[in-house]
Amino acid sequence: MRSRLVSWRGAIALTLVCAVSAPAFGQPGKEKREERREDRKEKREERREDRQENREERKEGREERREKRQERRKERREKIKEKWGDLVKKPLVAAELKKHARRTARLNRLLEVAEEEKNEEAKKKIQALIEKENARHEKRMAHLKEKGGEQ
Return the biggest CA–CA distance within the chain.
107
- 131 and 101 both lie in a single domain: yes
- Asked whether 93 and 87 are in contact (CB, 8 A), the reply is yes
Would you say residue 58 lies in a domain?
yes
Would you say residue 95 lies in a domain?
yes
- The interaxial angle of helices 2-84 and 91-116, nearest 10 deg, is 130
Q: What gap in Å lies between CA 7 and CA 64, rounded to an integer?
A: 79
Average pLDDT taken over every residue of the chain: 83
**How many CB atoms are located within 10 Å of the residue 102 CB?**
10
What are 108-119's pLDDT values in tens digits? 999 988 988 889
* Domain, as residue range, for 50: 26-74
Q: What gap in Å lies between CA 121 and CA 114, rounded to an integer?
A: 9
Q: What gap in Å lies between CA 97 and CA 133, rounded to an integer?
A: 12
Residue finishing a domain among 47, 74, 101: 74
Report the number of distinct structural domains present in the chain. 2
Would you say residue 66 lies in a domain?
yes
- 61 and 99 both lie in a single domain: no
pLDDT at 130: 96
**What radius of gyration, in Å, describes the C-alpha atoms of the chain?**
34
Would you say residue 140 lies in a domain?
yes
Q: Which of 54-58, 90-94, 99-103, 144-148 has the lowest mean pLDDT?
A: 54-58
Would you say residue 127 lies in a domain?
yes
What are 7-58's pLDDT values in tens digits? 666 666 666 655 555 555 556 678 888 889 999 999 899 888 888 887 887 7
Would you say residue 20 lies in a domain?
no
Q: Look at residue 95 and tell me whether its pLDDT is greater than 80.
A: yes
Would you say residue 14 lies in a domain?
no
What are 118-127's pLDDT values in tens digits? 899 999 999 9
- 61 and 109 both lie in a single domain: no
- 98 and 151 both lie in a single domain: yes
